[in-house]
Structure 1
Amino acid sequence: MEKPKHHIFVCASTRLNGKVTGTCERKESHNLLAMINEELSDRDLEADVMVTSTGCLGLCDKGPIVIIYPEGTWYGEVAEDDIPEILDALEAGEVVESLVIA
């Protein structure tokens, strides 16, 4: 696999002890992972974008958290309905300002 153009990280609420507990998990961040992967496939972007679940990112009050690199964009309180808009913005080189964690 070649280095992807973008890397999307989704908080999965995993703790250092391996337990999966926390806000992002309770708000079903695992569904966001599945939806992002489906959308990437539908848009034929699988070779350009890698998706990875992460451990706890420490901003639980803003969860679920989605981060996009190399842009360094942190999105908070992401819902399934936000995924198409986030990916549209990614493709256009833009940011969804209403979701950005400042």
Structure 2
Amino acid sequence: MPKPEKHVFVCVQNRGPGHPRGSCMQSGTAEIWDEFAYNFQQKNLNGRFALSNTGCLGPCNGPHVLVYPEGVMYGKVGKEDVAAIVDEHLLGGTPVERLMLPPEIWG
């Protein structure tokens, strides 16, 4: 298998209802994961790009999606945002600015 151009990580952390930090699963990330998987299948992206689910990515204002190698973190992603991430960022090479978290999240 060749090295993927980009790798998409979708947080599926589940801390359960009432946890003080919350979790992406409680914010609806299951729909987001399903939508990414559907887009990858429909657009024949498997192999060219990698898609993985993951635990907590750090900040807790999810659902979160992280794209490497750029290290672009998206926050409060909705099912309706997946097509923009796939089309604009993965295929077009331009991150979706309206969904990007500020670089300070890494500080």
* TM-score class, shorter: 0.7 to 0.9
- Deviation (angstroms), 1:2: 2.2
The TM-score normalised by the length of structure 1 is 0.86
Counterpart residue identity of residue 72, structure 2? T
| Equivalence for 1:12 | 12
Residues 16-95 of structure 1: matches in 2 within 5 Å? Answer: 20-21=14-15, 22-60=22-60, 62-89=61-88, 90-95=90-95
Cα distance in 1 for residues equivalent to 2:8 and 2:2: 16
- CA deviations over 1:1-44 (Å, ceiling 9, x no partner): 2221110001111xxxxxx3142010121221111011011111
Structure 2: gaps of 5 or more residues: 16-21, 103-107
Cα distance in 1 for residues equivalent to 2:67 and 2:57: 13
- CA deviations over 1:68-93 (Å, ceiling 9, x no partner): 11121110000000000111112111
Cα distance in 2 for residues equivalent to 1:27 and 1:85: 19
Cα distance in 1 for residues equivalent to 2:38 and 2:31: 11
| Cα RMSD for the two superposed structures | 1.1
Give the number of the structure whose residues are more often strand, by fraction.
1
Counterpart residue identity of residue 7, structure 2? H
Identity of aligned residues (%): 36
The TM-score normalised by the length of structure 2 is 0.82
Q: Residue 91 of structure 2: SS of its match in structure 1?
A: helix
Question: How many corresponding residue pairs?
Answer: 95
